Amino acid sequence: MPATEKKYPDWVQEQRTRGTTVKKKGDTYYLYKRTSRRVPGKKYPQPVDTYIGIITPEGVIKSGKKKISLGGIEVKEYGFSRAVWQLCPEGWKKPLGDDWEDVLSIIVWKWSPETYLTKERKLKPEQDFHYQFKAQAASLSRRMYKEHGAGLQELQVLKSIYLLYIGKEVVVSKTSPEQEQLLEKTGVDLSLC
């Protein structure tokens, strides 16, 4: 390795290989991977250092931080869909019999195409049913408003509450004060089962 302007102890110099750099803070030596990138308006590439770990006489103690790939995250709408599902009145379900879940899933999907329901359950085609979905949605919204003070229109503010699927983990995104107020008013629980 080429000599640096700074003279480090031999045990530090041994860890310094091509493409790395050492930084000293106090009595501690840190090893970084050194790359560079072009920055508009700058004449030369700018250095980019990525932390590797602490250098000790016994070797490098690598960082214990785990990195996750953001490419594996899937995001689905959750707040609106979950609220509609929880607030769906029994009086609306009863006339639909065994079809109520499928009909409700289609209505939710029509109002929120990115619903988490498309990941959790298989949606049947609308053509498999003899219902008028606009009329069913209007009836559902009226009944929900009458029972809970919020219909489909009012619940749309919850569409920006998402489920994040990160590998095997599932996380609910943050809620705003306005959303919290509506959730409290309607009694909707967004916790995962």
- pLDDT tens digit string along 32-54? 899 988 888 888 888 888 888 88
pLDDT tens digits along 60-77? 888 765 555 556 788 899
| Number of domain units in the chain | 2
Q: Is residue 45 part of a domain?
A: yes
pLDDT tens digits along 181-191? 999 999 999 98
3-state secondary structure of 28: strand
Please tell me whether residues 54 and 128 are part of one structural domain: no
Please tell me whether residues 87 and 155 are part of one structural domain: yes
Q: Is residue 5 part of a domain?
A: no
The DSSP letter of residue 151 is -
Please tell me whether residues 95 and 149 are part of one structural domain: yes
Cα(66)–Cα(167) distance, integer angstroms: 14
Q: Is residue 192 part of a domain?
A: no
Please tell me whether residues 113 and 147 are part of one structural domain: yes
Rounded mean pLDDT of the chain? 87
pLDDT tens digits along 124-141? 888 888 888 889 999 999
Read off the pLDDT of each residue in 140-147 and give the average, rounded to a whole number. Answer: 94
Please tell me whether residues 143 and 52 are part of one structural domain: no
Domain hosting residue 115, numbered range? 71-186
Read off the pLDDT of each residue in 139-152 and give the average, rounded to a whole number. Answer: 93
pLDDT tier for residue 193 given thresholds of 50, 70 and 90: low
> How buried is 177 (Cβ within 10 angstroms: 0-12 exposed, 13-18 middle, 19+ buried)?
exposed
Q: Is residue 2 part of a domain?
A: no
Please tell me whether residues 76 and 99 are part of one structural domain: yes
Write the CA distances from 128 to 14, 103, 105, 116, integer angstroms. 71, 10, 13, 22
Q: Is residue 84 part of a domain?
A: yes
> How buried is 106 (Cβ within 10 angstroms: 0-12 exposed, 13-18 middle, 19+ buried)?
buried
Q: Is residue 3 part of a domain?
A: no
pLDDT tier for residue 6 given thresholds of 50, 70 and 90: low
Please tell me whether residues 155 and 122 are part of one structural domain: yes
- At 81 the pLDDT is 93
In this structure, the number of other CB atoms found within 10 A of the CB of residue 152 comes to: 22
CB 79 within 8 A of CB 150: no
Q: Is residue 79 part of a domain?
A: yes
H or E segment to which residue 82 belongs: helix 79-87
Please tell me whether residues 77 and 54 are part of one structural domain: no
